């Protein structure tokens, strides 16, 4: 379809400047998602405390769902956390806001404890911190957050009917940006609840936070020896992840319309948990993408060789001109897949140039033809 669009534009450009002008103006008037594919649902899964090497040590036999993501989708085992913080709440805030933690453009939420009743991300920063929930909700789409940790209450407090920003896009959908918030400590019950909800009335964007590897890691010091409590926790998550993938693949409503993003907030190091900033085992995390339009077996760094740089073993600062893939890419990637604009105030993937589907190349073709047409008008 996109090839036909490009050819039609080229023909119009060739046959006359009036036709070119008309098409150029038309394209400029189209909404952000006009060239988007059929993605209607994005499931954003964050596996708390998941080290990338835990997946490869388990291998295909004990981690078949992670390996299914690798075989059927695109991935890297060398993504990065926030540069300055390795805590759960700071990094999940980055995943939801597309910002680093520190500095004037950061979200500035470094606390990893259960929040006081009246605290919000906004009161902590002294300014409103928009999120992926804001953009999706304000476009009239549905949102959800499912978590296994009670301290994720900070997000509920920040984006509820009192503290969420007014909706200034089209129809007023209210200030409550998270339509469905669920906290269940038992991960299997949490996922079963989530699957039931997705079968009933699927959410256009949802964050599903799975706590088990982090909980086991704090007890077992991220021991990646096969059979350790940490590795058994990762294997349990793999089994539950398979239920989500099967749900997407077998649901007439979700199949062919859904993309799943899987990442983590931090890893962990034997004997020190995840407190040491310069420990490669702490800041190295997976970033997997699976679903509609995602190339099978793709390497995300190869797919994005012009815009992302594999950091090797390094921990690059945000000031580097070409960034590694980060967990913070997830928010604006989800919005891009849904055909929506980036989060106001975000800095990570604000240009929405993390390519995970063939749609990005089709979109580029259309804009190249558009630019060629504008040149003819000069």
Q: What is the mean pLDDT of residues 155-174?
A: 97
Whether 27 and 57 share a structural domain: no
CA torsion angle 200 157 343 25 (round to 10) = 70
pTM for the whole structure = 0.88
Give residue 3's pLDDT. 34
Q: What whole-number distance in Å separates Cα of residue 6 and Cα of residue 332? A: 26
Query: Domain span at residue 343?
Result: 40-356
Whether 362 and 242 share a structural domain: no
Q: How far apart are the first and last CA of the chain?
A: 29
pLDDT in tens, 233-278: 999 999 999 999 999 999 999 999 999 999 999 999 977 678 888 8
Q: What whole-number distance in Å separates Cα of residue 99 and Cα of residue 48? A: 19
Q: What whole-number distance in Å separates Cα of residue 246 and Cα of residue 240? A: 10
Q: In what order do the strands lie in the sheet with 143-147?
A: 180-183, 143-147, 205-210, 41-47, 258-263, 284-291, 74-80, 298-299
Q: What is the mean pLDDT of residues 29-49?
A: 75
Q: How many structural domains are present in the chain?
A: 2
pLDDT in tens, 167-211: 999 999 999 999 999 999 999 999 999 999 999 999 999 999 999
Q: State the average pLDDT for the chain.
A: 89
Q: How many CB atoms lie within 10 A of CB 32?
A: 15
Q: How confident is the model at residue 378 (pLDDT cuts 50, 70, 90)?
A: low
Give residue 215's pLDDT. 96
Whether 245 and 372 share a structural domain: no
Whether 9 and 54 share a structural domain: no
Whether 4 and 153 share a structural domain: no
Which secondary-structure segment (H or E) carries 6? helix 2-15
Q: What whole-number distance in Å separates Cα of residue 83 and Cα of residue 326? A: 10
Whether 215 and 362 share a structural domain: no
Q: What percent of the chain has pLDDT over 90?
A: 81
Whether 9 and 56 share a structural domain: no
Helix 229-250 with 187-200: angle, nearest 10 deg: 10
pLDDT in tens, 209-226: 999 999 999 998 899 999
Bridge partners of residue 298, in order along the sequence: 74
Whether 21 and 49 share a structural domain: no
Q: What is the mean pLDDT of residues 110-128?
A: 97
Give residue 274's pLDDT. 85
In the predicted model, is pLDDT for residue 7 greater than 60?
no
268 close to 217: Cβ distance less than 8 angstroms: yes
Whether 47 and 134 share a structural domain: yes
Q: What is the mean pLDDT of residues 306-324?
A: 98
Give residue 220's pLDDT. 85
Of 166-170, 219-223, 328-332, 364-368, minimum mean pLDDT range? 364-368
| HEC letters along 219-274 | HHCCCCCCCCHHHHHHHHHHHHHHHHHHHHHHCCCCCCCEEEEEECCCCCECCCEC
Whether 269 and 223 share a structural domain: yes
Of 100-109, 151-160, 212-221, minimum mean pLDDT range? 212-221
Whether 298 and 369 share a structural domain: no
CATH of the domain at 148: 3.40.720.10
What CA–CA distances, in Å, run from 316 to 132, 311, 343? 25, 7, 23
Whether 28 and 111 share a structural domain: no
Cβ partners under 8 Å of residue 170, min gap 6: 139, 140
């Amino acid at each position: 379809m996109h090839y036909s669009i490009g050819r039609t534009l080229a023909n119009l450009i060739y046959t006359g400047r009036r036709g070119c002008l008309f098409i150029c103006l038309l394209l400029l008037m189209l909404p952000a998602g006009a060239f988007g594919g059929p993605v209607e649902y994005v499931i954003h899964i964050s596996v708390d405390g998941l080290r990338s090497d835990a997946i490869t040590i388990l291998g295909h036999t004990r981690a078949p769902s992670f390996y299914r993501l690798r075989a059927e989708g695109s991935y890297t085992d060398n993504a990065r956390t926030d540069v300055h913080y390795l805590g759960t709440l700071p990094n999940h805030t980055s995943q939801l806001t597309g910002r680093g933690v520190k500095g004037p453009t950061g979200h500035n939420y470094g606390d990893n404890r259960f929040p006081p009743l009246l605290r919000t991300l906004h009161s902590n920063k002294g300014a409103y911190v928009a999120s992926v929930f804001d953009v999706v909700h304000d476009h009239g789409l549905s949102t959800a957050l499912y978590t296994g940790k009670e301290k994720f209450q900070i997000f509920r407090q920040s984006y509820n009917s009192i503290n969420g920003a007014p909706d200034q896009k089209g129809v007023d959908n209210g200030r409550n940006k998270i339509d469905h918030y669920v906290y269940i400590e038992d991960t299997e019950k949490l996922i079963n609840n989530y699957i039931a909800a997705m079968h009933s009335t699927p959410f256009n964007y949802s964050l599903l936070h799975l706590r088990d590897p982090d909980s086991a890691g704090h007890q077992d010091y991220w021991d990646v020896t096969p059979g350790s409590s940490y590795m058994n926790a990762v294997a349990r998550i793999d089994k539950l992840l398979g239920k989500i993938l099967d749900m997407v693949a077998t649901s007439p409503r979700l199949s062919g319309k859904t993309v799943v993003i899987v990442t983590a907030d931090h890893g962990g190091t034997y004997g020190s948990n995840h407190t040491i900033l310069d420990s490669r085992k702490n800041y190295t995390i997976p970033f997997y993408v699976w679903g509609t339009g995602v190339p099978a077996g793709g390497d995300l760094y190869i797919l994005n060789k012009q815009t992302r740089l594999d950091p090797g073993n390094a921990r690059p600062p945000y000031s580097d001109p070409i960034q590694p893939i980060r967990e913070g890419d997830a928010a604006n990637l989800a919005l891009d897949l849904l055909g929506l604009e980036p989060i106001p105030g975000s800095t990570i993937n604000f240009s929405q140039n993390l390519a995970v589907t063939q749609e990005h190349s089709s979109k580029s073709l259309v804009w190249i033809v558009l630019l060629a047409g504008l040149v003819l008008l000069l």
